């Protein structure tokens, strides 16, 4: 069977029915290809969804509490960051004016938000609690 037998088939199915040797594929083979593609799609979709659940960190995993020093950096228009005693760098999103003092020692608790900023310094954090220490 060749192209001459495809006259009764709609043109958009011609490519699907012909393989490289111009032989007509059976309807069963086309059905098997469709089933295989559906199965491959479902497996891929399931992997993407499952990976999303694995990567979903809860807020508890992103919570931090530490002591450190508030520092002023004269970069990108100037900003205040916190350098922890362990050497971590945090860029507070909501540091109140009361704590915007260079070399101020603080204890803080917050949630790491990891946003992209123009400062490109440290990890962004939303402060939940902060207090001066001596």
Query: Sign of dihedral through CA atoms 35, 36, 41, 47?
Result: positive
- Give the CA angle between residues 49, 55, 60 to the nearest 5°: 130
* pLDDT given for residue 29 in this prediction: 67
Give the pLDDT mean for 9-22.
58
**Residue 39: count of CB within 10 angstroms of its CB:** 10
Of 12-16, 40-44, 101-105, highest mean pLDDT: 101-105
The mean pLDDT value for 6-28 works out to: 58
Model-level pTM greater than 0.75?
no
Residue 125 pLDDT > 50, yes or no?
A: yes
On the question of pLDDT at 120 being above 70, the answer is yes
Residue 129: pLDDT band (50, 70, 90) is: very high
**The pLDDT value given to residue 62:** 87
User: Which structure tokens are listed for 102?
Assistant: 């260079």
* Residue listed under structure tokens 């509490």: 65
Residue 124, pLDDT score: 92
Per-residue model confidence as pLDDT tens digits over 33-92: 788 888 888 888 777 777 766 655 554 558 999 999 999 999 878 899 999 999 999 999
């Amino acid at each position: 069977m060749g192209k001459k037998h495809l006259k009764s088939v709609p043109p958009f199915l011609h490519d699907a029915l012909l393989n490289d040797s111009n032989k007509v594929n059976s309807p069963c083979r086309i059905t098997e290809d469709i089933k295989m593609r559906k199965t491959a799609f479902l497996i891929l979709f399931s992997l993407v969804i499952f990976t999303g659940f694995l990567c979903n960190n809860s807020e508890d995993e992103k919570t931090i509490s530490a002591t450190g020093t508030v520092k002023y950096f004269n970069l990108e228009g100037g900003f205040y960051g916190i350098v922890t005693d362990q050497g971590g760098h945090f860029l507070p999103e909501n540091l109140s004016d009361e704590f915007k003092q260079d070399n101020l020692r603080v204890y803080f608790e917050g949630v790491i938000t990891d946003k992209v900023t123009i400062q490109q310094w440290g990890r962004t954090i939303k402060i939940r609690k902060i207090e001066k220490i001596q």
